Amino acid sequence: MPQHSLEYDDRALSGHIDEKEREAYREPLAEAERLLVEKRGAGNDYLGWLELPTRQPADLLNEVVRTASHLREKADTMVCIGIGGSYLGTRAAVELLGPSFDDLRSPKILFAGHHLNSDYLSDLLKVLENREVTLNVISKSGTTTEPGVAFRVLRQWMEQRYGTEEAAARIVATTDPDKGALRNLARQEGYATLPIPPDIGGRFSVLTAVGLFPMAFAGINIEDLLSGAAEAAKQCTGAELEANPAARYAVNRNILFRRGLVIEVMATFQPHLHYLGEWWKQLAGESEGKQLTGLFPTVLDYTTDLHSVGQWMQEGLRNVFETLLVLSSTRKSLSVPAFSDNEDGLNYLAGKSLEEINNQACNGTLLAHLDGGVPVSTIRLADRTERSLGHFFYFFEKAIALSGYLLRVNPFNQPGVEAYKKNMFALLGKPGFEERFDELNRKMKGMGL
């Protein structure tokens, strides 16, 4: 059992990184830590997440729990409407902490607003027909296209089913505390509201009401979640590589990146960990991928994906390194039964637990990929609990913030996200984008589109 809820093990990197290389990062790392703690670095107006685990307002936590409890009395299903950081943390929590299959979960959290697809929304409305429903729409501005479109469809459905007044009583808007389109609509319609702090960006917002409220509705203990995050905040402080695992991880990935290993694979070894990887993928990619630099983060699910891209990982282009994400303990244990015919030749596994087999699959993968020239390190979560999850969230928030500063980019903005939005607005005829429409139309005609 790990000493902490999360442990970072980079011993397998010894053949790829030596301590002299890490030593060269001591001063840049110390400066990155100072920029964060003293709030002097780029994007310093978005550092509200730093002290959130220990300085969460008690009145907000009470309001989150009270509102969630009230809605559970009238609803068995919540539709969480958001995109990116507005939904990935909650989905990661539900997948990690809940049963493996949605039919076993009560109350249920379903998700919308993270794409533009009629079939998905139509099927969602069909699922909701026989359920008592509440909506949590999450958007700081209220004008983001994907959640905005989904909310329009679901709001209309709610008002037709429950009537305008009761529908409003079942809708909670998590948004800017003072301004914005969603805040104005909530005032107009009488929706309950929860605040997104102005000094916290979406991908760092999982420990705000953005994540805490739908988690509380799902029955997740948010106090234990914050306790785990506080443990991580205490552990991941200072610029000593031997004492701060988040800093060590940040330095290792920067060393490997500057060596030309431009892809980081987070490889999970339990199905419940998949959306932890998806949350990390947004955090890392949106924080670092700018100014023509930054690692490309991607997620693989082992052992499943060892039977799809395992060949590439073993012998493909050597521009990749791996961070394995594993669980130290599962909630239940099944063992392999013995059969006298042994036609499949698997009696040598009889009596062994699936955890033991999976652990050796993990060890075998680590050794094979090291032999294949892939640097590998490991993140170990103690268990599937709120405390471990909170530790995971904060560990990576701190690590990616440090990593971004080591790359000399602003880890807290995302200017590139606006490019596709502006094009989409113009192509859909949004007022004010007429000139861009003409320009794009000419480009498309030139490409024969």
Active site residue ranges: 286, 307, 421
What is the Cα–Cα distance from 198 to 141, expressed in whole angstroms? 11
Asked if omega into 214 is within 30° of 0 (cis), the reply is no
Which residue matches tokens 């909310």? 151
Per DSSP bridges, beta strands 108-112 and 133-138 are unpaired
User: Whole-angstrom Cα distance, residue 442 to residue 449?
Assistant: 10
Distance, CA of 399 to CA of 411 (rounded, Å): 11
- Phi, psi torsion values for 421, nearest 5 degrees: -60, -45
CB 205 within 8 A of CB 196: yes
**Taking a C-beta distance cutoff of 8 angstroms, is the pair 94, 113 a contact?**
no
CA atoms within 13 A on the CB side of 222: 30
Amino acid at 42: A
Other beta carbons less than 10 A from residue 319's beta carbon: 11
For 183, how many CA atoms within 13 A lie in the half-sphere containing its CB?
A: 11
